[in-house]
Amino acid sequence: MRPHFQQLYQHDDDPWQVRQRWYERRKRELLLAALPASRYRHVYEPACGNGELTAALAGRADRVSASDGSPAAVRLAQQRVDGMAHVTVQCQQLPGDWPDQTFDLIIVSELAYYFSEPALLELRDRCRDTLTIDGTLVLCHWRRPFPDRLLETKFIHDSFDACPELHRVVHHAEADFLLDVWSRNPRSVAQQEGIST
């Protein structure tokens, strides 16, 4: 974990203003609307930050496992989901501490550009290997330059798109961010509901 993340959360419980900024709230709502299922059995959200998305996911899941590399962020996320017995938050350093479980929804948001290319490929493989047979994978990343970036957002998303086991079902591109959703099930939401063949 980069030490400055820990310092950021120690001095501000919302350093990226994910609660206040319309940009962040809108992006979160777009991500939630892009999910192809209304409910999930077990969600994994690495790099959960202060838990705003985690709390929103809790309303659509039987179980949510969230993690962050910053102990301060983990404490804030735990406070945010206090009283939600089906949500757990723990400190993990990824990709090495990836949980030994399976998930039907994995959300990788604003994380992968901090990784080296070998670590990105390990992250991709861990996502693929722990996704259930009907599972969904979401990536959402800022596109503009910033000092800590190691990888470009397009390269990250293209790396996941190259997995033959994953079928991209949503692609949303804006000047500021990319949002992509893959599923092991290639059928659209309308097809799954019998509206379309």
84 within 8 A of 59, measured Cβ to Cβ: no
Q: Tokens 């479980």 — which residue?
A: 101
Q: What is the mean pLDDT of residues 160-184?
A: 97
Q: What is the mean pLDDT of residues 21-40?
A: 96
Confidence of residue 9 (pLDDT cuts 50, 70, 90): low
For residue range 93-145, what is the model confidence (pLDDT) as tens digits?
999 999 999 999 999 999 999 999 999 999 999 999 999 999 999 999 999 99
Q: Which of 133, 104, 98 is nearest to 41 (CA)?
A: 104
Indicate yes or no: pTM above 0.85.
yes
Q: Measured in Å, how far apart are the chain's first and last C-alpha atoms?
A: 47
Chain length of the chain: 197
pLDDT more than 90, % of the chain: 84
Confidence of residue 1 (pLDDT cuts 50, 70, 90): very low
Tell me the domains of the chain and their CATH numbers.
3-12+22-192 (3.40.50.150)
